[in-house]
Each structure stands twice: as C-alpha cells, then as structure tokens.
Amino acid sequence: MDLTTWMNNYTGQSDFTLVGLFSQSEHPALLAVVIFVVLLMALTGNALLILLILSDTHLHTPMYFFISQLSLMDMMYISVTVPKMLMDQALGSHKISAAACGMQMFLYVTLAGSEYFLLAAMSYDRYVAICHPLRYPVLMNYRVCLLMISVCWVLGSLDGFMFTPVTMTFPFCGSREIHHFFCEVPAVTKLSCSDTWLYETLMYVCCVLMLLIPVTVISGSYSSI
C-alpha cells in the first residue's frame, strides 16, 4: 500500500459513515429511547452486581470473582458501540474517523474474544469445585484466578491485534458507508477495493478455531460433572 492510500485511510479527510439500525426504522426516536433504557439497565445491573461482590466478603470466592469479571466485560462490551450509536442519532451525525473506527474494532474484538475464554474459565472453575472439592482451595486460589483472567484478556487482545491492523490498512477507494451500527470487521472489509478473499477466509477460520477452544473446555468440563 502506497503513502497516498495510507494517508487517505488514516487522516481525518475521509471519515466512515455508519448506516445502522435507525436508518431502517419507521420510528427511530422510539427505538433510540428503548435502546437507551436497555443500556442503562444493563450498565446499572452489572455495576450493582460488581459492587455487591466487592462489598460482601462472603462472595470473595473464585466463582463470584469470575462473575464480577464477566459483568465488567459486559459493561465495557456494550459501552464500545451503543453510546456512540445513540449519540450519532441524537446529533444527526453518523461519521466516524478511521482512528476511532480502528479503536472501536479493536476493543470490540478483544472484549468478545476475552468473554469466550472467560466462560471457559468459569466452566473449569465449576468442574474443579464439584469434582475436586477438597483440592478446590488449592487449585483455584487467588493467584490462579488472576492468572486465568490475565490469560483471557491476552488471548482476546491477540484477536484484536491480529484483525484490526490488517483490516484498517486495506485501501478504501469507493464508498465509505459501513452498513452496520459499529465498525465490525466484515462490514469494513467489504468496503475495500482490493481482493480480500484470502483474508476473509483466514479470518473466519481463525474465528472458528478460537471458538472451538472455549466450546471444547466448556463441553469437557460440564460433561465430566
């Protein structure tokens, strides 16, 4: 990719346009209110759950530690896309810069991947608690829990670092309208004027392989209980 293409992609001269849910709705204002209420409920519910777990010493166990981490990831996950969508609808602007699009893409992919691996860690925790109750305090001590959470974040971020730079360095020569309410990798890839068949194939293969690991761990853990 030459310097001119790189500058077109990453300077603010050529922003993307998000064509999301509201453009296809007959009552966009009502839809925005409903989404805003659901957003507040989700953020409030997860925040209260985290505060409850932190404030009650009886809940300072591996299971509730993982639940609090899942709630934190859920809060961050929806905060990456939904507030931007609602703000665009309120202000009447659906533009997003290439840098902001890349950041949104990276955070979304990272959080999605991290949640998959966290669910696998939670299933393993339940397996150890039920099948090895006497060794549970040793096998699932606080240091092990922190290590498992760290691994979940690292594995999730690997997807973000793998997909985001490649997707955002494709040349975008034509329309910059993203037919989605956020910068999803496949939606942005479709805008490229270069041949992305090989990249899309590898991307879907990597996604399938990434999902197989948590699914295998979850299936193996619960089938052994």
Q: What tokens were used for 158?
A: 């690997």
pLDDT of residue 2: 46
The ranges of the chain with pLDDT < 50 are 1-3, 6, 11-12
Among 184, 187, 181, 185, CA closest to 84: 181
Tell me, what's the pLDDT at 3? 46
Rg of the chain (C-alpha set): 21
What is residue 178's three-state secondary structure?
strand
Q: What is the pLDDT of residue 47?
A: 97
pLDDT at position 8 is 53
Q: Which long-range contacts (CB under 8 A, 24 or more apart) does 65-71 make?
A: 65/145, 66/118, 66/121, 66/122, 66/125, 66/145, 66/149, 67/122, 69/118, 69/149, 69/152, 70/115, 70/118, 70/119, 70/122, 71/46, 71/47
**pLDDT over 70 percentage in the chain:** 93
What CATH architecture is 3-223? Up-down Bundle (1.20)
For 145-192, the pLDDT digits (tens) are 999 999 999 999 998 999 999 999 888 887 888 988 899 999 999 998
* Nearest by Cα to 76 from 33, 44, 107: 107
- pTM recorded for the entire structure: 0.86
**pLDDT for 6:** 46
Where do the domains of the chain lie?
3-223
Q: What is the pLDDT of residue 110?
A: 95
Residue 209 tokens read as: 């392989």
